[in-house]
């Protein structure tokens, strides 16, 4: 009886030792998620602490979600015929390394669908073990976009941010452009290149965040003009990767300057209509009276001055200073020309008679100054003109 009891205890100890020893071998995988490049190759690591006998070894690599078979190693060799058609010819074992306990595979021509979890499962006749390998695609995503509303002369922020495994400070280039390709703002090689912006945006745009490395690529646009409304595209570049988002700016209402311009234009219209009727009535009674001539004279003088002021205000409000100054000058020049050719000029005080001799030089001088200042408002145009003059001089 005692011998039987000792025998049973020995048998239990033996079974316990055997089961403990065969709890399963350990597989080693990557320490974290793997990052793969679209179109490139990625190594999916899987290895045993010690080699396992090839004659009883079976290695399966499968998608964790769908169970699709990437590759199979069985009976001492690869089984490419068993691969799912999605991975056929793209997944390979390192055959010579399998005998050393290396069960990793290389996945080539990575696609967007290859992102996800993979299971490496290793079997022997008596035991098995598995690990999960997670694969991310190296991506460059830009978020933001949407519709933004703003009033003229306001300041607005157009949102854009980068979401990527690539650090934002590694971005090679960030551009903000209008839909018509007009360059609004450029960030290149770690610096903001403000001078490359289109002239109508220079001094009015900047990145919302001074530290782009935090991933905030938003654009701050100041002194909004009605012409600023439209689509703005934020694009980020890193190597062969690029991504973009679109923000639509819709301007609403007018600023105080715009309202002032509207009021002046209305006053000009009413003034012109009222004085036209009054001048017609007076000239009808006594055509050459000094009073009638002064009224007729003020009828074209005041509206042109008011419209000239309107053009100047519009230039400040909309930034088209060259065009506004040219239009304002033409209005003032028109006053000089009309006074010079007025048939009733002799009826006015003597100071106006000098317009017959000074009118033409004044007109030519004003037009010349304005045209030259508009055309040569940029240093580049002036340099080109000077170089052309040098060519003719030689």
Clarify whether residues 173 and 75 are in a common domain: no
Clarify whether residues 147 and 195 are in a common domain: yes
Clarify whether residues 151 and 226 are in a common domain: yes
Q: Which of 237, 252, 267 is the last residue of a domain?
A: 252
Query: What is the chain's length?
Result: 394
pLDDT score, position 224: 85
pLDDT score, position 348: 60
Clarify whether residues 161 and 91 are in a common domain: no
The CA distances from residue 170 to 160, 167, 174, 239, 244, in Å, are 17, 5, 11, 10, 16
Query: Using CA atoms, how far apart are residues 283 and 293, in angstroms rounded to an integer?
Result: 8
Burial of 47 (0-12, 13-18, 19+ CB in 10 A): buried
pLDDT score, position 294: 66
Clarify whether residues 348 and 280 are in a common domain: yes
Clarify whether residues 129 and 168 are in a common domain: no
The CA distances from residue 317 to 261, 283, 312, 338, 379, in Å, are 10, 40, 9, 30, 23
pLDDT score, position 268: 78
Query: Is residue 165, in this structure, part of any structural domain at all?
Result: yes
Query: Is residue 121, in this structure, part of any structural domain at all?
Result: yes
pLDDT score, position 102: 95
Clarify whether residues 144 and 228 are in a common domain: yes
Query: Is residue 384, in this structure, part of any structural domain at all?
Result: no
pLDDT score, position 48: 93
Clarify whether residues 174 and 123 are in a common domain: no
pLDDT score, position 61: 96
The CATH number of whichever domain residue 121 belongs to comes to 2.60.40.10
Clarify whether residues 246 and 282 are in a common domain: no
Query: Is residue 78, in this structure, part of any structural domain at all?
Result: yes
Bridge partner list, 164: 140
Q: Domain tally for the chain?
A: 3
Q: Which residue segment(s) compose the domain that 371 sits in?
A: 256-377
Closest Cα partner for 234 from 185, 200, 277? 185
The pLDDT averaged over each successive group of 10 residues in the chain (394 residues) is 39 36 73 86 93 91 94 92 93 93 95 93 91 88 87 86 71 91 91 90 88 84 87 89 90 71 81 71 59 65 76 68 68 67 60 59 64 54 49 42
Query: Is residue 11, in this structure, part of any structural domain at all?
Result: no
Q: Is residue 311 a contact partner of residue 331, using CB atoms and an 8 Å limit?
A: yes
């Amino acid at each position: 009886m005692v011998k039987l009891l000792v025998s049973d205890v020995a048998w239990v100890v033996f079974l316990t030792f055997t089961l403990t020893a065969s709890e399963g071998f350990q597989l080693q995988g990557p320490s974290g998620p793997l990052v793969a490049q679209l179109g490139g190759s990625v190594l999916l690591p899987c290895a045993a602490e010690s080699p396992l006998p090839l004659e009883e070894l079976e290695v399966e690599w499968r998608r964790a979600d769908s169970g699709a078979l990437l590759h199979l190693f069985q009976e001492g060799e690869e089984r490419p015929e068993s691969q799912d058609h999605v991975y056929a010819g793209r997944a390979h074992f390192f055959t010579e390394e399998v005998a050393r306990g290396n069960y990793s595979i290389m996945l080539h021509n990575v696609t967007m669908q290859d992102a996800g979890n993979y299971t490496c499962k290793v079997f022997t006749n008596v035991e098995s073990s598995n690990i999960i390998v997670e694969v991310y695609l190296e991506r460059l995503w830009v978020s933001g976009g949407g519709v933004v509303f703003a009033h003229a002369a306001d300041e607005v922020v157009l949102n854009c941010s980068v979401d990527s495994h690539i650090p934002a400070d590694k971005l090679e280039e960030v551009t903000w452009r209008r839909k018509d390709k007009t360059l609004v703002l450029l960030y290149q090689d770690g610096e903001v290149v403000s001078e490359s912006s289109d002239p109508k945006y220079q001094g009015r745009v900047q990145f919302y965040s001074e530290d782009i490395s935090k991933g905030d690529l938003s654009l701050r646009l100041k002194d909004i003009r009605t012409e600023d409304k439209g689509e703005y595209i934020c694009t980020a570049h890193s190597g062969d990767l690029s991504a973009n988002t679109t923000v639509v700016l819709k301007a609403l209402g007018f600023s105080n300057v715009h309202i002032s311009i509207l009021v002046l234009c209305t006053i000009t219209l009413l003034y012109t209509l009222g004085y036209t009727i009054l001048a017609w009535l007076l000239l009808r009674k006594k055509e050459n009276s000094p009073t009638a001539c002064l009224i007729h004279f003020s009828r074209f003088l005041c509206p042109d001055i008011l419209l000239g002021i309107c053009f100047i205000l519009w230039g400040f409000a909309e930034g088209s200073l060259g065009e506004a100054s040219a239009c304002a000058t033409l209005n003032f020049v028109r006053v000089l020309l009309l006074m010079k050719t007025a048939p009733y000029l002799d009826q006015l005080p003597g100071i106006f008679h000098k317009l017959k001799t000074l009118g033409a030089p004044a007109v030519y001088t004003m037009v010349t100054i304005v045209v030259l200042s508009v055309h040569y408002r940029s240093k580049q145009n002036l340099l080109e003109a000077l170089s052309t003059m040098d060519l003719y001089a030689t």
